[in-house]
């Protein structure tokens, strides 16, 4: 026997002295992560306990044991000792919570926190709160986070920079950027971490622009950037394609020597790739001495984005020669490239490789395989892959749904969705992106009502995009009443330009022009500015219902508006509107004064109107242009022939029909055979 135990046996010193020695030793061992020594000491404490039956000293030492074990990563012992402690203090609690965080047991953190609050003899401290906020953040529990935020404000830790930083991260990760902003603005001392958290948080919440604003402010304030700043701001530059800002960050990285960090280098490669500068991406990539799988994957993705899938595949080989194995992300990236280019063979090769590498059970890989086969129009193979997945996660189901949708199999998509629900898989928002169009295609009222019911119960209907799709589905089913009910149920303040456009369009398509126009003015009154899409919907509605004056007024409104420029669609609507009303010359005058050359659609609208009203003069002009703009469209010949026949000009009609048959064979420009009198 040696060390402290022997000291205890001899009992030359007081218990307090020995306890202090134990504590000091344990602290040192914890700092140096010396697990073996901690274990030895643990043994000594047990011996000491037995010999002296003086638990007093051991009670002072055991909390230190817990801390040391947890620092050394020996979770089992730490847990056991912790459970045996009669009165664990806040420090021990903090260490146990840290263990939970490291193991991803966030609910355990919350349980311990509540326990700690109920103890009565001690309270959470500045080390406790960051751990608890981390747990709230990972569990996406803002409600709880807010409560604990309130608690920090009541305590003296609410003004601590580190506590506030973890609070920022919690709000940002829960999607509450406004609340994060309030905390940030109120912070007395902002550290570089605070700025980084804001930049990164805004980017993650879809506000890349604001992320850059914060970055610029940070630089203006003279805050020294670090590696995490670079890693947070570069993706924002990438998504906004701000090559110049990216280059400035790169320069700062070089100046501050942050580039030893491979994470920073990889972020730079990705930024250059996304900004389309492959030369710069390659030069950063070449400069990385020890490239990891992320460096390679970013570069591979770069070649894919620049359209060189062959080179991407070559690089994938090169990386393996260098001894780096592609991971599921690399594969997912390559497979998505094969999908969009319909490279079925390369996709199959990758599939085989993935199976041999045993990467085929990763969800991302499964999902991209399903997507790749579907995009290559091999739905059966796609389903085969899908059937072999564990089917517990929503992603493969979503991929399969979008696969069915892509291949025009709407009924299958709806059937699969039902099965998904029966198997208890919870969809997420993007699942509906591919599912809802299928319902619109089927246009089955009973199915739509079932869906409506589900969306209400599951709460997804409160998502504006999904509610908007449902309006469209009801409209496609011909049920404007339900469509309008769904529209009315959307709270006024979240109705956006898209939901208004869809309801206006729905009334327009079903010939209720007046309602469409009145909805349009309601929208403007509610403070939403019309855009090109809404104008298309409302003008379409006018032309469908023959509301000439209303249509012309709206069109004038559009011309006056600086923000909305009439495009081809709008001219098509107006020409159609005037044409149907028999005001053909007005329509033609408008076309001549158009700021750009009328497309086939505009000419088509004019020709259609000429047929209705028997106007050969303008009809021939329109036909001449149409034959030039879309020589393959035989419909235009049919229309012109119809125009001639209606006026009893049988011979001309017959000629046009011959012409139509010839075009397919001779590819001779048809318009040369038609005499154009005026143009």
Binding site for DNA (CB under 7 A): 27, 30-31, 91, 94-95, 98, 125-127, 130, 134, 137, 161-163, 165-166, 169, 173, 191-194, 196-197, 200, 226-229, 231-232, 235, 261-264, 266-267, 270, 292-295, 297-298, 301, 327-330, 332-333, 336, 363-364, 367-368, 371, 394-395, 398-399, 402, 430-431, 434
Nearest-angstrom CA–CA distance, 170 and 138: 8
- Residue 176 CB, shortest distance to DNA, in Å, is 14
Beta carbon nearer to DNA, 368 or 501 = 368
Whose CA is closest to 183, among 164, 205, 200, 203? Answer: 164
- Residue 196 CB, shortest distance to DNA, in Å, is 4
- Residue 39 CB, shortest distance to DNA, in Å, is 19
- Residue 381 CB, shortest distance to DNA, in Å, is 17
Give me the phi and psi of 63, to 5 degrees please: -55, -35
| Joined tokens for residue 335 | 């497979």
First-to-last C-alpha distance (Å) of the chain: 112
- Residue 615 CB, shortest distance to DNA, in Å, is 50
Beta carbon nearer to DNA, 165 or 564 = 165
Whether residue 124 contacts residue 132, with contact meaning beta carbons closer than 8 Å, is answered with yes
Beta carbon nearer to DNA, 227 or 635 = 227
Beta carbon nearer to DNA, 233 or 591 = 233
Beta carbon nearer to DNA, 284 or 539 = 284
Nearest-angstrom CA–CA distance, 359 and 326: 10
Beta carbon nearer to DNA, 293 or 443 = 293
Which residues are CB-contacts of 12 (< 8 A; sequence separation ≥ 6)?
A: none
- Residue 273 CB, shortest distance to DNA, in Å, is 8
Whose CA is closest to 281, among 256, 250, 253? Answer: 250
- Residue 362 CB, shortest distance to DNA, in Å, is 8
Whether residue 239 contacts residue 273, with contact meaning beta carbons closer than 8 Å, is answered with no
Whether residue 537 contacts residue 516, with contact meaning beta carbons closer than 8 Å, is answered with yes
Q: How many helices and strands in the chain, by DSSP H and E? A: 39, 0
Beta carbon nearer to DNA, 261 or 633 = 261
Q: Report angle CA 412, 463, 144 to the nearest 5 degrees.
A: 120
Nearest-angstrom CA–CA distance, 159 and 423: 48
Beta carbon nearer to DNA, 260 or 562 = 260
- Residue 2 CB, shortest distance to DNA, in Å, is 26
Which residues are CB-contacts of 421 (< 8 A; sequence separation ≥ 6)?
A: 427, 454
Query: Is the backbone of residue 358 left (phi > 0), alpha (psi -120 to 50) or beta?
Result: left
- Residue 233 CB, shortest distance to DNA, in Å, is 10
Beta carbon nearer to DNA, 130 or 508 = 130
Other CB atoms within a 10 A radius of the CB of residue 668 amount to 12
Beta carbon nearer to DNA, 98 or 250 = 98
Q: For the chain, how are helix, strand and coil distributed in percent, rounded to 5?
A: 75, 0, 25
- Residue 543 CB, shortest distance to DNA, in Å, is 37
Nearest-angstrom CA–CA distance, 581 and 546: 7
Nearest-angstrom CA–CA distance, 143 and 135: 12
Nearest-angstrom CA–CA distance, 494 and 498: 11
Nearest-angstrom CA–CA distance, 233 and 267: 9
Whose CA is closest to 467, among 438, 442, 496? Answer: 496
| Joined tokens for residue 78 | 């730490």
Beta carbon nearer to DNA, 354 or 523 = 354
Beta carbon nearer to DNA, 128 or 537 = 128
Whether residue 99 contacts residue 78, with contact meaning beta carbons closer than 8 Å, is answered with yes
- Residue 281 CB, shortest distance to DNA, in Å, is 11
- Residue 298 CB, shortest distance to DNA, in Å, is 5
Half-sphere exposure of 537 (CA within 13 A, CB side): 26
């Amino acid at each position: 026997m040696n060390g402290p135990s022997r000291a205890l046996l001899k009992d030359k010193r007081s218990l307090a002295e020995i306890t202090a020695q134990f504590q000091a030793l344990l602290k040192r061992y914890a700092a140096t992560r010396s697990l073996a020594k901690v274990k030895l000491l643990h043994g000594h404490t047990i011996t000491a306990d037995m010999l002296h039956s003086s638990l007093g000293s051991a009670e002072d030492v055991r909390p230190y044991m817990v801390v040391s074990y947890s620092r050394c990563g020996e979770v089992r012992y730490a847990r056991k000792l912790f459970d045996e402690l009669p009165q664990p203090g806040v420090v021990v609690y903090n260490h146990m919570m840290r263990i939970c965080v490291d193991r991803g047991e966030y609910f355990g953190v919350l349980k311990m926190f509540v326990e700690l609050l109920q103890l009565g003899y001690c309270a959470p401290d500045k080390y406790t709160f960051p751990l608890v906020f981390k747990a709230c953040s990972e569990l996406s529990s803002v409600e709880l986070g807010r409560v604990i935020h309130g608690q920090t404000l009541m305590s003296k830790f609410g003004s601590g920079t580190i506590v506030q930083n973890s609070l920022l991260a919690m709000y940002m990760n829960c999607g509450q950027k406004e609340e994060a902003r309030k905390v940030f603005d109120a912070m007395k001392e902002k550290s570089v971490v605070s700025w980084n958290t804001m930049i990164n948080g805004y980017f993650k919440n879809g506000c890349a622009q604001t992320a850059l604003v914060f970055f610029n402010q940070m630089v203006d304030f003279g805050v020294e950037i670090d590696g995490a700043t670079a890693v947070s701001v570069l993706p924002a530059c990438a998504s906004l394609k701000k090559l110049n800002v990216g280059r400035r960050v790169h320069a700062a990285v070089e100046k501050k020597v942050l580039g030893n960090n491979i994470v920073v280098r990889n972020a730079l490669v990705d930024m250059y790739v996304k900004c389309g500068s492959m030369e710069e991406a390659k030069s950063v990539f070449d400069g990385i001495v020890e490239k990891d799988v992320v460096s390679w994957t970013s570069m591979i993705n770069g070649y894919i984005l620049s359209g060189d899938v062959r080179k991407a595949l070559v690089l994938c080989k090169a990386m393996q020669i260098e001894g780096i194995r592609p991971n599921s992300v690399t594969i997912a990236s390559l497979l998505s490239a094969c999908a969009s280019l319909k490279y079925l063979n390369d996709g199959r090769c990758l599939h085989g490789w993935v199976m041999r590498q045993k990467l085929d059970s990763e969800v991302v890989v499964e999902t991209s395989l399903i997507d790749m086969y579907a995009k290559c129009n091999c739905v059966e193979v796609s389903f085969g892959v899908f059937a072999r997945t564990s089917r517990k996660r929503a992603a493969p189901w979503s991929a399969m749904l979008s696969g069915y949708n892509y291949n025009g199999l709407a009924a299958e998509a709806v059937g699969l969705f039902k099965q998904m629900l029966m198997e208890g898989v919870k969809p997420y928002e993007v699942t509906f992106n591919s599912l809802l169009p299928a319902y619109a295609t089927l246009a089955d009222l009973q199915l739509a009502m079932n869906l409506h019911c589900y969306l209400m119960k599951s709460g997804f209907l409160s998502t504006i995009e999904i509610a908007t799709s449902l309006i469209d589905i009801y409209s496609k089913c011909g049920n404007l009443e339900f469509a309008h009910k769904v529209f009315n149920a959307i709270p006024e303040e979240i109705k956006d330009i898209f939901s208004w456009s869809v309801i206006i369009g729905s009334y327009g398509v079903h010939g209720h022009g007046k309602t469409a126009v009145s909805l349009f003015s309601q929208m403007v009154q509610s403070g939403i500015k019309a855009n090109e899409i809404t104008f298309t919907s409302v003008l379409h509605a006018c032309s469908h219902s023959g509301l000439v004056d209303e249509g012309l007024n709206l069109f004038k409104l559009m011309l006056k508006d600086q923000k909305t420029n009439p495009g081809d669609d709008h001219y098509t609507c107006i020409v159609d509107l005037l044409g149907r009303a028999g005001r053909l010359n007005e329509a033609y005058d408008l076309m001549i004064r158009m700021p750009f050359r009328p497309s086939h659609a505009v000419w088509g609208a004019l020709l259609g109107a000429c047929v209705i009203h028997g106007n050969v003069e303008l009809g021939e002009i329109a036909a001449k242009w149409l034959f030039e703009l879309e020589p393959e469209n035989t419909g235009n010949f049919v229309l012109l022939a119809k125009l001639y026949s209606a006026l009893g000009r049988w011979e001309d009609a017959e000629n046009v029909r011959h012409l139509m048959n010839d075009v397919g064979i001779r590819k001779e420009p048809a318009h040369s055979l038609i005499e154009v009198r005026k143009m």
